Amino acid sequence: MTSISDASGGGRGFPTAPTILSEQEQQAVWFLGALVRVRTHGSTTGGALAVLEHSGERGYSSPLHRHRDDEETFIVLDGELRVEVDGVTQSAGAGAAAMLPRGLAHSFVVTSKEARFLTIHTLAGFEAFAVRAGEPAASFDAPPGCAPARPGAARCDGRRLRHRNPGSTADAMSRACVADGRRKASPPTRSPTLGQAELAC
């Protein structure tokens, strides 16, 4: 199928025309060591929402952070995550949904061998940040700099990919947030349960 709308909408609002995007029209990036596909972008929803599909191996995680402008909903399709929200940690397996209000500190980590999950952002905006901070997915089999997997082997050590640049994941994300204009530089706080530095992005 192809796009049947140019409903960019301009600003925040509601879409005014239907849109159908083929998989080839959807953006995909390697972000923090996982494949992230932007299934629905704010430019097609009038800024009302964005839907991202994440496919990652054990250890794929986000630093503790807050969303200033959007609620985030996780829907786990396969595998299991550990989600921390406002200091409370809980496992979320296939079929689970976690709704996170804006402004609450949260993070996640994949605890199963692999996991696939959606994040739904209302309002849109985070998907554009992920695309800018990630690397275009020329291949869905292996992140840039990783050899293609042998049958039955992991695609790549996600931790090595996430930390191949100087500084920690939190430091790299903090720099990306500041560069993106999503936050001002400020001293990080710590997660009481995971011990991570917190971003407000």
For the chain, the domains span 24-137+157-200
Rounded to whole angstroms, the Cα distance separating 82 from 107 reads 8
CA dist 63 and 60 (Å) reads: 10
What value, to the nearest 5°, has the Cα angle with vertex 152 and ends 149 and 156?
Answer: 35
At residue 132, the pLDDT reads 92
**Can you give the pLDDT at residue 41?**
93
Q: What is the pLDDT of residue 170?
A: 55
Q: What confidence score (pLDDT) does residue 26 get?
A: 93
- Predicted local confidence at residue 7, as pLDDT: 40
Q: What is the pLDDT of residue 5?
A: 40
126-133 and 169-179 helices cross at what angle (nearest 10)? 110
User: What is the pLDDT, as a whole number, of residue 98?
Assistant: 96
The second-level CATH assignment, the architecture, of 24-137+157-200 is Sandwich (2.60)
- Cα dihedral 131, 134, 135, 139, rounded to 10, equals -80
Give dist(CA 104, CA 97) in Å, integer.
17
List of the chain residues with pLDDT < 70? 1-13, 142, 144-201
